[in-house]
Amino acid sequence: MTPSVLGGRTALVTGASGFVGANLARRLATDGEEVHCLVRPGHRRWRLIGMPDNVHLHQIDLSDHARVGAFISALAPESVFHCAAYGAYPEQDEFWCALSANVVDTLNLIRCCTRAGARSIVHAGSSSEYGSKDHAPDEDEALTPSSAYAATKAAATLLLRYLAECADAPVTILRLYSVYGPWERPSRLIPTVLSAAAHGRWPPLAEADTARDFIYVDDVIEAMLAVARQVRADQHRSVLNVGTGRQTTLKDLIEVVQRMFAVAVDPVWSEANRRVWDCATWLADPRRIAWEVGWSPSTDLADGLMAMYGWMGSSSRIRRRYGLQV
């Protein structure tokens, strides 16, 4: 077991049944932390199978503010990672659910953690808060979100910065770009492309110039831990971009995967509908997190895709879930 990355502090993770939260909980547990995870009743359990013994699951809905407050008061976590959110998937399209989960429940959680004496709170924001830009926006740029999810995440950022100023909430907002890697939902772009390519074909694709800043989940976890380790007052009010600073178009992605699998057929573009947030420019400006925290990504796209595909074939259960042959 590696040394404790947080110095043995009690860690709380919300959204641990989700993609980023599940990876984070496993990493913290592997590093020897006592990890407490809030998961909603009725959550999907597949990402939680095989969690280490030092990961403790608590079925509490974040909308039950009284119960959340009592739990956090009793636990008194020193490090908090808020990864729970609503609206990142197409079927999560209820505006009031996004408003409740991403704004109201988030503010209640952060206030409870602050009152309980948390030393560091890391909130997972989203690059979608910026909206469509023709350049890599820095953290102080005006926000022009184009979806209910993006708008409510942007609202949470503004309100959390207000709490930091007025109530000394020790919160840092990380605006995550396009995270991929183990435990990602199988229907998302990268696992879908890898699974299809492994069978010598391509899935329906959007326009070739659709752009993203893809960042491997392990690099995102390293950014979260780097921020949590720093408890200086000047870090508490930061908004930090977490991306590679390198843009990848869908055409670029397919070319890398085509080389990996030697797929004989060429892709057909524009078979999938373009979504309102799809655009030809989408990349991070990660300079601030490099200056303030000393973090930079270490996984390039080809290595990350290879690692992801290797994990997809790591067990018969995972192979079945991701559509690979057993």
Residue 197: the pLDDT is 97
Instruction: Please tell me the total number of residues recorded for the chain in this structure.
Output: 326
Q: At what angle do helices 105-115 and 148-167 cross, to 10 degrees?
A: 20
**Mean pLDDT value across the chain:** 92
Per-residue pLDDT tens digits of the chain, which is 326 residues long: 455 556 557 899 999 999 999 999 999 999 999 999 999 998 889 999 999 999 999 999 999 999 999 999 999 999 999 999 999 888 888 999 999 999 999 999 999 999 999 999 999 999 999 999 999 999 999 999 999 999 999 999 999 999 998 888 999 999 999 999 999 999 999 999 999 999 999 999 999 999 999 999 999 999 999 999 886 545 556 899 999 999 999 999 999 999 999 999 999 998 666 665 566 789 999 999 999 999 999 999 999 999 999 999 999 999 999 999 64
- 64 secondary structure, DSSP code: -
Place of tokens 């009284």: 66
Q: Could you give all domains of the chain from N- to C-terminal order, each with its CATH number?
A: 11-179+217-242 (3.40.50.720), 180-213+245-283+299-321 (3.90.25.10)
**pLDDT tens for residues 222-236?**
999 999 988 654 555
pTM of the model: 0.94
Dihedral angle computed from the Cα positions of residues 66, 70, 76 and 80, in that order, rounded to the nearest 10 degrees: -30
pLDDT value at residue 270:
80
Residue bearing tokens 């699998």: 261
The four Cα atoms 161, 171, 44, 50 give a dihedral, to 10 degrees, of 160
